[in-house]
Structure formats: structure tokens, C-alpha cells
Amino acid sequence: MKIVIQRVTSAGVTIDKTQVATIKKGLLILLGVVNNDAKDDIKWLSNKVVNLRIFSDENGVMNKSVVDVDGDIIVVSQFTLHASTKKGNRPSYIKAAKPDIAIPLYQAFVNQLETDLGKKVQTGQFGADMKLDLVNDGPVTIIMDTKNKE
């Protein structure tokens, strides 16, 4: 699994001109799943996300987690995170998992985040054409890949 985490002051997801998710301070997470991702990746990744100290403390030092600041999270599926651009100019998405693999792992990741965060995590809609609005705070953007966890 690969994620892009963006620290935001606000974020939202719109599908067909209807806003389906909105948060204030927190994290917008883009999640890409590949065929060999497994459930054991989820616990590790969720734990990293909720404990990642990327919010400023009273001294302006990034020393607080999303839990510490009572922030919210939106998770959006994004198969294009696994684009291969080695050949030609048209990206290949052959590494991205098909929905029968990706959807259960995506849902399990959201459920694990809710458990670790202690509150509801908002989402986009898997496979939908979504419009994302966000104000990246900092900007702070972190990329994590479960293939690099050791």
C-alpha cells in the first residue's frame, strides 16, 4: 500500500456536485493498493498515520499527531499512485489492484484508522470521479509505502 498524507486546515470530497466528505484540521490521505498488499500492512500503516507527529506544538515544532490535535481524516482511493512511467508517455497502472482486492483492503484500512483514531473517518467513493478541495497546511506532504516498512 502506498499513501500520500497531506496535513490540511480543511478538505472535502465532491462527487457529481454533491459534497460527500468534509473536514477542518486533519489529514487527507490518498491510498493506492497493489495486488500483493495484505491485511498485515494495514495495522502497521494505520498506526504510523495516527501517531505521525506532523502537527505543530505550542512552540511551532512538529511534535503532535492527528490524535493529539483531535484532527479528522479523509481517505480517498487512488490507483494512480502506482503508475509506472518507465516506458513512453502514457502511465501504466498494471500494478494497481483490481477492485475485488483493493476494495476490501481500502475498507479495512479505513476501519483500522477508525479504531486507532477513536472516531469516524470520512471517505470518498471507491472508483468514483471525485473532486478534492484542500488547503494543504505548511505545506506538509508525506509519502509512505508498506513495501519500505523495514
Q: How many domains does the chain have?
A: 1
Per-residue model confidence (pLDDT) at position 45: 96
Which of 111, 99, 127 lies closest to 45 in space, CA to CA?
111
pLDDT digits (tens, 9 = 90+) for 1-40: 999 999 999 999 999 999 999 999 999 999 999 999 988 8
Is 141 tagged catalytic?
no
pLDDT beyond 90 at 150: no
Grid cell 454533491 in the structure block, residue: 18
- Compute the distance between CA of residue 44 and CA of residue 108 in angstroms, rounded to an integer: 12
Please give the mean pLDDT across all residues of the chain: 95
Q: Catalytic one among 9, 80, 115, 141?
A: 80
Q: Domain of 133: which CATH number? A: 3.50.80.10
pLDDT digits (tens, 9 = 90+) for 82-127: 888 988 899 999 899 999 999 999 999 999 999 999 999 999 999 8
Phi, psi dihedrals of residue 45, rounded to the nearest 5°: -65, -45
How many other CB atoms are found less than 10 A from the CB of residue 36?
10
Residue 91's domain spans which residues? 2-148
pLDDT digits (tens, 9 = 90+) for 36-89: 998 889 999 999 999 999 999 999 999 999 999 999 999 999 998 988 898 889
